[in-house]
Amino acid sequence: MTGSQALKAATPSVFIDGEAGTTGLEIRERLASLDSVRVASIDAAARKDPAARKALMAKVDLVVLCLPDDAAREAVALACSLGDDAPRIVDASTAHRVADGWVYGFAELDAQQPDAIRNARHVANPGCYPTGAIALVRPLVDAGLLPRDYPLTVNAVSGYSGGGKSMIEAYDKGAAPAFELYGLGLEHKHIPELTTFGGLTRRPIFVPSVGNFRQGMLVSVPLHLDTLPGKPSAADLEAALVKHYANAALVSVQPAAAHKGRLDALALNGTDKLELFVFANEAERQAVLVARLDNLGKGAAGAAVQNIQLMLGLI
């Protein structure tokens, strides 16, 4: 055993590469509340120094990447160059979500996913929008209620903190609109993971939007019930979701009737929860599936910490 391996064996330690960004700060705050994890930081002046970062990577058990895609790919190459001293990795960027050799970090995907994450060297943290959409769609696909080639439409609204540095600055300065559709070229970077891990064979139409609030998210999927196999009721869809998430600590199916046809996008802010709803008009045979989450919680930092804990054997 090398010296760095011995250090790793003593106390689980994590280095957040990109800890000064929005997601990095959120992850660090959550890890600070865990006595079972030590966070190793790099000097601010050395954050872009490959040699300094590589040296720290060799000393820790796990590295979380909170970097742009190209920088994340470079960081992975840097970590892998350490050979036997290479740390395990959770990548919060889009770079590796559908890449070979990476495990998708949505622990509630199916019954096997938690163990897949526990045993993985490299885990790709899910995107915030796909977390909501996949949580709604995948159980219905697996249950045979939603065809894999269904012409699916996914609509979503997020707080502006999910849009990166330039969007955050624009809203903080009052230079952005109150509400804005974007990604209207229908090439949003989250579509590949939504398709792959939603269990879909037909590319969905995804229409994201951003509102003038810092964090919070609603993801909705409209369905014509009579176009689905067996023409299920809304209760059938809800039952499939309830069954899938029966043992999930962070994901729950909530009664739609209690909300009287309205949902507050900000209600789960500051939590790592994900709530799912089935709103329906049975007379018209229409339904809308809705996921609610904090885009900085279960949509980013909360999922990352969940994956870190699984990989380090803490949960």
Q: What is the pLDDT along the chain (315 residues), one digit of tens a residue?
A: 454 444 455 779 999 999 989 999 999 999 999 999 999 999 988 998 999 999 999 999 999 999 999 999 999 999 999 999 999 999 999 999 999 999 999 999 999 999 999 999 999 999 999 999 999 999 999 999 999 999 999 999 999 998 777 888 888 888 889 999 999 999 999 999 999 999 999 999 999 999 999 999 999 999 999 999 999 999 999 999 999 999 999 999 999 988 889 999 999 999 999 999 999 999 999 999 999 999 999 999 999 999 999 999 999
| Active centre residues (catalytic) | 128
Q: Determine the residue type at 199.
A: G
Domain 128-294: which CATH number of 3.40.50.12780, 3.30.70.980, 3.30.360.10, 3.20.20.70? 3.30.360.10
In angstroms, the CA 265 to CA 148 distance is: 28
| Nearest Cα to Cα of residue 244 among 271, 285, 274, 223 | 274
Task: Give the span between the Cα atoms of 50 and 76, in whole angstroms.
Answer: 12
Measured CA to CA, the distance from residue 53 to residue 12 in angstroms comes to 18
Distance CA 115, CA 92 (A): 19
Query: What's the token pair of residue 170?
Result: 């624009």
Please give the Cα distance from 107 to 238 (Å, whole number): 20
Judge whether 13 and 63 are in contact, CB under 8 Å.
Answer: no
Residue spans per domain, the chain:
3-126+300-311, 128-294
Using alpha carbons, select from 145, 146, 132, 154 the residue that is nearest to residue 203. Answer: 154
Single pTM value for the model: 0.93
d(CA 39, CA 267): 30
Give the sign of the dihedral formed by CA 195, CA 101, CA 116, CA 65: negative
Q: Which architecture, in CATH terms, is 3-126+300-311? A: 3-Layer(aba) Sandwich (3.40)
Q: Look at residue 33 and give its three-state secondary structure.
A: coil
Residues in the chain: 315
